[in-house]
Structure 1
Amino acid sequence: MSALSIQDLVVRYGHGSNAMVAVDGVSLTVPRGEVVGLVGESGSGKSTVARAIVGLAPVASGSILLDGAPVPRRGRRPVQMVFQDPQSSLDPRMSIARSIAESFGPEIPRAGRAAEVARLLELVHLDPARAAARPGELSGGQRQRVAIARALAARPDVIVADEITSALDVSVQGAVLNLVRELQRELGLSMLFISHNLAVVRYVASTVAVMRGGRIVEQGPVEQILEHPEHPYTRELLAAVPESLRSAS
């Protein structure tokens, strides 16, 4: 895994007087082998940051670097994204095996793809026998596990996870978060984990950045931000978290 560095990122839509700045001078680092949380309410710009990292949003200025070099936009994609809604991110016409295999690089020979699909499904705690199933035959939590397996299939240096539990039932959110923690320990994942929920970020991340109005207003170690928030907006987000979740580990 590698370190991801975002420096003075600006994302602007439109031109002239009609231009809208969605991200305004964001700087953020995801160290090698760590999970960094990016938290904020809907419309804060956090998902736009995610989309800019993987080339899906226009970068007006600033830089996005992987181990000090620009993130390549052609050939192998070293940064992979897991989207919020697995229902829309997986092709309903394709089998699970085919969806995952699409992400394989040339280092996985055709003859070995079935075995690699099975390994990845086991890694995300899905029965390899479901490889022939289509997304519509799976639950929301199972589809999100497939989406994570597909991202891992590309053998990325960094994963960007954008609100990956918010579209799931509360009963399965914890299982997916546990999976993220497990994968981070086992694989040493470098991950930018995006959420509107500080309690969720606390569970998986070591550091957190708080975003509002396209800017980062506060960042630091998760425990420090939770126990001694300095910005009023951070305190507002924290106040929305039940006390029981605030102290959970």
Structure 2
Amino acid sequence: MSVLGFHDVRVRYGSHTVLKDVSLEVGDGEIVGLVGESGSGKSTMARAAVGLAPVTGGRILLDGRPVPGRGRARPVQMVFQDPYSSLDPRMTAGESIAEALPERLGKQARQEEITRLLALVHLDAARAGDLPGRLSGGQRQRVALARALAARPEVILADEITSALDVSVQGAVLNLVRDMRRDLGLSMLFISHNLAVVRYVADRVAVMHDGEIVEHGPTAQVLGAPRHEYTRHLLAALPGAGRRTSSDTGTTPPTSILKEQT
């Protein structure tokens, strides 16, 4: 069982409070979508979980225990928005993945694991020898996902991982996320400002506004019949919002959904 829990988490930078006693749970094998406008505190929440933002109040627990913050094999791994800046441009795809593998693996076992991980993210093993500059944005993001998986995490925090990609590539990455949950049983906090993206991948949705979660529940409920004014505001801002129905909560092919966002 792998449950990531945020319990009354507060993050402050000087006199500015970014997260205001936020509570949220990412259940075992579940994808929870965290949505909100830029500056709402979404990324700070993920960064706090991996020790990149100072937690000034509350607790972040994995299966009831503090999240380990050191070492390669951290059970909570983060995948960042920009797949190019998150990879060392001087390291090949294979080297980047290998860096996150357990140290005990021998040379042959490491190579086999790199090949397996590339296959998991639908990349040919030959790509292991490519530098990031030779890969497309979608391919780089797949390598970043493979690198996160190399640490054998229990939870992945995906921070706007499709926002820097072309529409057609976004759909492929979203399908990959769904495949990973189905095949690996991973828990995931999927952060996005794009409600159409979250609609497609998430089991539950939490809506964040000004450092607080203002609405939370099953995706169909939150996006089909929102209770909070801010959630209704986000939905109303979607192109083609008037054409949607309460049952349109994740069965539309991702490319069709995403095209409405461009």
**TM-score, normalising length from structure 1?**
0.95
Give a deviation string over 1:114-137, Cα, whole Å, max 9, x none. Answer: 111011001100010110000000
> Match for 2:130: what amino acid?
A
SS state at 2:169 partner: helix
1:154-169 matches, cutoff 5 A: 154-169=151-166
- 1:9 equivalent to 2:5? Answer no
- 1:68 equivalent to 2:64? Answer yes
SS state at 1:131 partner: helix
Report what 1:31 is aligned to.
27
- Alignment length, in residue pairs? 245
- 1:43 equivalent to 2:39? Answer yes
SS state at 1:88 partner: coil
1-side partners of 2:62 and 2:103: how far apart?
22
Q: Which sits farther off after the overlay, 108-117 or 213-222? A: 108-117
Report what 1:56 is aligned to.
52
> Match for 1:6: what amino acid?
F
- Once the two structures are TM-superposed, the CA of residue 245 in structure 1 deviates from its matched residue by 7.0
> Match for 1:50: what amino acid?
A
- Once the two structures are TM-superposed, the CA of residue 111 in structure 1 deviates from its matched residue by 2.7
Report what 1:219 is aligned to.
216
Aligned CA-pair RMSD: 1.2
2-side partners of 1:174 and 1:74: how far apart?
33
- Once the two structures are TM-superposed, the CA of residue 74 in structure 1 deviates from its matched residue by 2.1
> Match for 1:2: what amino acid?
S
1-side partners of 2:10 and 2:128: how far apart?
41
Give a deviation string over 1:164-209, Cα, whole Å, max 9, x none. Answer: 0001111210000000001110111100000001111111110010
> Match for 1:238: what amino acid?
L
- Structure 2: 5+ residue stretches without partners: 252-262
> Match for 2:34: what amino acid?
L
SS state at 1:201 partner: helix
Same amino acid, percent of matched pairs = 67
- Once the two structures are TM-superposed, the CA of residue 42 in structure 1 deviates from its matched residue by 0.3
